[in-house]
Amino acid sequence: MRFLVWQTAYLGDVVLTTPLIRTLQENFPGSEVLFVGRPFIGELFKGWKGLRLLPFSKGFFESFRIARKIRGYDVAIVPHRSLRSALIILASGIPVRIGFDRSEFPLAFTHRIKHSWDLHEVDRNLKLLEPLGCSKLLRNPWLPMSEGEKRSVLEKFSLEEKSYLVVSPFSNFPLKEWALEEWVKLIKELGKKIEVVVTGTDGKRAELLSKEVRFLNLVGKTSLRELMGIIGGARGVVSNDSSPVHIANALGVPAVTVYTSTSPKYGFYPLMGSFVESKTPCSPCSPNPKRCRTGTKECLRSVPADLVLEVCEDTFKI
C-alpha cells in the first residue's frame, strides 16, 4: 500500500499531523508513506525512518508538476482544506482521496470526513483515518531528534538542559501576538526565577523587547533544527498561539499558550501544559485572524501578565 499525506500549511499544523503519520506506519507496517509539505519539512522531519518527503513551495507551475509526481499512490489523506490542495489531489488520479467536508472543494474527495472545531487538531486529523479502519491510534505528536543532537545544540548556545524557559512572543499573524508590554512584565518576573531564552524571527520586535528587559536573545540566530534542540532542552515554553507550542509537546516539553484573538476552542491548545485566554467580548475572531473587526485590538492587551506568570509557575514548577 502506498499512502500520501498532504499538509502544506504552517509549521505548527504540520507538527500536529505527526500522530496521523505515526498511526499509518503503526497500522500498515511496510507500506510506503510520502509526506508533502512546505520546504521546511526536510529539516523538521530529518531522520524519520520510513517516511519519504516531497517539499512543495506552492508555485503555479510546480502545482502541475507535483500532481504528476504523486500519481500511482493508492490513498491520499489531506488535512489541508485549501482549494489548491483539493485540485492537485483530484488531478493526481489517486483512487482513494480522504479530506474534510469543509475543504474549499470537497467534491475532490472520495471520502469526506466531518470537520469539527470541538476536537483537538490531532483528533480531527486522526478522524481522516476512519475509512482505513486503523485499530491503533497514536495521539502524541512526535519529532525526530536524538539526545546527541540536542546536547550539541545546547553546548553551542551554552545552555544547560531544564535550566531555562523558552519564550516565543512572535507569530505569523500579528493579531495572535500578546502585547509587548505584557511580555516585558512576564519576562522580568520569570527572569528572577530561571533563565529566559527568547526565540523567533521578528528582529525588530525582539530589539524593542531587549531595550526593556534582559534575556538570551536567539531571535533569528538558529536553524529550525537548532530551535528544536533549544526547545527540546527547555524546562518549558511560553508562546502565543503558534508553532513553538506544538514543537515543544512533540519533544516532550510542556507549554503555556497565551491566547489573544484566537481561542483553545479551535483545538490548537497544548496537549502538555496549560493556557490563558482573552476574555474580551469580541474574542475569538477566527483560527488565523488577519483583521480586527472592532479596530481596537483590545484582546492583545486583555490578558494580565501576573495571571500568565501564575500559570507558568504552576506548569513548570519554578
For residue range 149-178, list pLDDT tens digits in order.
999 999 999 999 999 999 999 888 888 999
For residue 142, tell me if it sits in a domain: no
Structural domain including 94 reads 2-132
For residue 138, tell me if it sits in a domain: no
CATH, residue 179: 3.40.50.2000
Q: Is 112 exposed, middle or buried (0-12, 13-18, 19+ CB in 10 A)?
A: middle
Q: Do residue 122 and residue 218 come from a single domain?
A: no
For residue 145, tell me if it sits in a domain: no
Distances in Å between the Cα of 269 and the Cα atoms of 23, 65, 173, 198, 312 are: 21, 36, 17, 21, 15
Q: Do residue 78 and residue 188 come from a single domain?
A: no
Tell me if residue 13 falls in helix, strand or coil.
Answer: helix
Q: Do residue 192 and residue 237 come from a single domain?
A: yes
Domain count, the chain: 2
For residue 93, tell me if it sits in a domain: yes
Q: Do residue 228 and residue 120 come from a single domain?
A: no
Sign of CA dihedral 28, 29, 31, 37: positive
- Boundary residue ending a domain (132, 161, 191): 132
Q: Do residue 114 and residue 184 come from a single domain?
A: no
- Boundary residue ending a domain (98, 132, 166): 132
Residue 204 has pLDDT above 80, yes or no: no
Q: Do residue 60 and residue 159 come from a single domain?
A: no
For residue 108, tell me if it sits in a domain: yes
Instruction: Please answer whether residues 53 and 45 qualify as being in contact, where contact means their C-beta atoms are separated by less than 8 angstroms.
Output: yes
Q: Fill in the amino acid letter for 279.
A: K
- Whole-number average pLDDT of the chain: 95
Q: Do residue 122 and residue 158 come from a single domain?
A: no
The x, y and z cell numbers of residue 4, run together, are 500520501
Chain centroid, CA 31 distance in Å: 26
Q: What is the per-residue pLDDT across 48-95, written as a single tens digit (0 to 9) for each?
A: 999 999 999 988 889 999 999 999 999 999 999 999 999 999 999 999
Please state the pTM of the whole predicted model: 0.95
The x, y and z cell numbers of residue 50, run together, are 520510513
- Boundary residue ending a domain (132, 161, 189): 132
